[in-house]
Amino acid sequence: MNCASMADQVADDPRVISDEEQEEEEKRIQHYSSFYEILLVGEGDFSFSLCLALAFGSASNIVASSLQSYDEVIKMYKNGKSNLEKLKSLGGTVLHGVDATKMQLHLDLANRKFDRVIFNFPHAGFHGSESSNRLIHLHRNLVVKFFGSARKRLRPDGEVHVTHKTTHPFCCWDLAGLASVHSLTCIESANFNIKNYPGYNNKRGGGNKCDESFPLGECCTFKFIFDPSHKNMQRTKQNKRKSSRSSPIYSFQRQLSWTDSSRNSPTYVNDMNGFPCHAGLPERHDPRSECFRIFKEYFSYIQETFGRKDIDVEVEVCQALHRGSLMYSSEDYLEILEKLHFWSWSRISRLQQKLQDLDRRLYELQGMRYYLSIMSVQ
């Protein structure tokens, strides 16, 4: 058999794959690639997931999820059922009942990592005017918890994408600040145009008008990456090792004297007037305190801009307080509080044991004195 006939035979063999076919072609749509492992949360009628899948020609790299069940989705959205069927036919993975703030608890997501985690137009529900502080607080609480959960689903070079309105009052959510709570840094905010995503229909997702679209206005896709250098816990530990305890509030209070090397049994020292000293009371403006570190930059900004007509001081102060409270409610700080609670409980137990030992010795001494008094009379 000559070379030409052998080549023809190889070409006709369906089992033979050419070099061009072996190299999968990358397909892109805006910020997303067919080479990315993509997780979408908070999907409505799944039209955005389907838009990406159609652009890639496959949904094998897509995991699309919603908080609602399958029955709820097809009941709420007229195109929900057909979108889901098309998505699955393209090889996509569809998950229902996924809480965007607790993704790690879902069995299908607990051990998976993604290149992109996407949450389009997060919303905590319709509970009054969007400008109300209460609703803004609910929205921010949802987003900050999502960031904490999404960070754990990222690959080392992965990104979290949140598409969000940028006009008032939505700009008050402060996405960058919320993301920083979980060591996520905003690297870009790209203008969002729904026309760049053919077939995507944004939905209200709640109430009687859940299947209707809402006006978008000015929007951006905010991109976040995990930045370990911003990890608050590491700075807290380093500051604790480098600095001593915070100064007391009052001038007549003095520092604790630690007599036990394990620091489990502090000795409280009284001042010259007999007033007991206490631990854990920070100085009013102690630059070494963690509270001062968190709030300093925000209140410095308020102080510098006080009196300007374009600054709402009350709103800015509320946002600063809320951001600080979110930082203190993060998992790292909760872990510290649990350790402090355990340390306090163990110290109380030790003190109780010492008091019992003192009572027993006192009782023994009293008994010995009574015995000696009787012997002296005799």
Q: What is the pLDDT of residue 255?
A: 37
Pairing of strands 184-191, 219-226: antiparallel
Residue 281 has pLDDT above 50, yes or no: no
Amino acid identity of 204?
R
**φ/ψ (deg, to 5) at 222:** -90, 130
pTM: 0.58
pLDDT at residue number 145:
93
**Tokens 């010995």 belong to residue:** 368
Residue 120's DSSP bridge partners are: 163
Provide mean pLDDT across the span 159-168.
93
Contacts from 203-207 at CB under 8 Å and sequence distance 24+? 203/44, 203/45, 203/77, 205/44, 205/76, 205/123, 206/123, 206/125, 206/126, 207/126
User: 9 pLDDT band (50/70/90 cuts)?
Assistant: low
**Is the backbone of residue 46 left (phi > 0), alpha (psi -120 to 50) or beta?**
left
Min mean pLDDT across 108-112, 223-227, 281-285 is at 281-285
Residue-wise pLDDT tens digits, 164-179: 998 888 888 889 999 9
d(CA 224, CA 186): 4
Span 224-231, mean pLDDT?
Answer: 78
Least confident of 8-17, 145-154, 220-229: 8-17
Q: Which domains does the chain carry? A: 28-230 (3.40.50.150), 290-375 (no CATH)
DSSP β-bridge partners for residue 65: 95
